[in-house]
């Protein structure tokens, strides 16, 4: 039997391609208003290994009819940053849990630690 973790967030996003990574890593860009590796109203930037993922952290249960709304919201925000950067048509959904800065032992390789 599996336990459903209702208090844990989910992350909906995608692996950033080269052009988007360059945009996000460029100093002085206005993206800091929309994309942050810390808690953000808009989008979160997370790492899975060496890859950067961009998406939205959802803290409440999400009905299936809202998933497409979240996808459109993510892509809309990224279009404001750069209208020509290539974006995916599908996003991935990851379960996640908060990882504290001090817990460095046995962090999962997909963890969203900052």
In angstroms, the Cα distances linking 84 to 78, 80, 91 are 10, 10, 18
**pLDDT value at 108 more than 50:** no
Region 63-85: mean pLDDT is 90
**pLDDT value at 112 more than 60:** no
Burial of 37 per CB tally in 10 Å (0-12, 13-18, 19+): middle
Position with higher pLDDT, 107 vs 60 = 60
User: Within its chain, how far is the Cα of 95 from the centroid?
Assistant: 11
**pLDDT value at 104 more than 60:** no
Q: For the chain, what percent of residues have pLDDT higher than 70? A: 78
Strands 43-48 and 35-36: parallel
Q: What is the pTM of this model?
A: 0.76
Q: What is the pLDDT of residues 28-70, one digit of tens each?
A: 655 567 887 776 678 998 888 889 999 999 988 888 889 999 9
Across the chain, mean pLDDT equals 80
* Residue 98: per-residue pLDDT: 67
């Amino acid at each position: 039997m599996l336990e459903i973790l209702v208090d844990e967030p989910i992350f909906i996003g995608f692996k950033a391609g080269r052009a988007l990574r360059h945009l996000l890593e460029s100093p002085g860009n206005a993206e800091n208003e929309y994309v942050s590796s810390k808690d953000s109203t808009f989008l979160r930037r997370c790492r899975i290994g060496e890859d950067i993922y961009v998406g939205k952290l959802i803290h409440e249960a999400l009905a299936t009819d809202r998933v497409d709304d979240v996808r459109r919201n993510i892509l809309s925000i990224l279009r404001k940053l750069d209208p020509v950067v290539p974006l995916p048509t599908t996003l991935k959904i990851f379960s996640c849990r908060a990882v504290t800065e001090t817990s460095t032992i046995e962090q999962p390789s997909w963890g969203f630690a900052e």
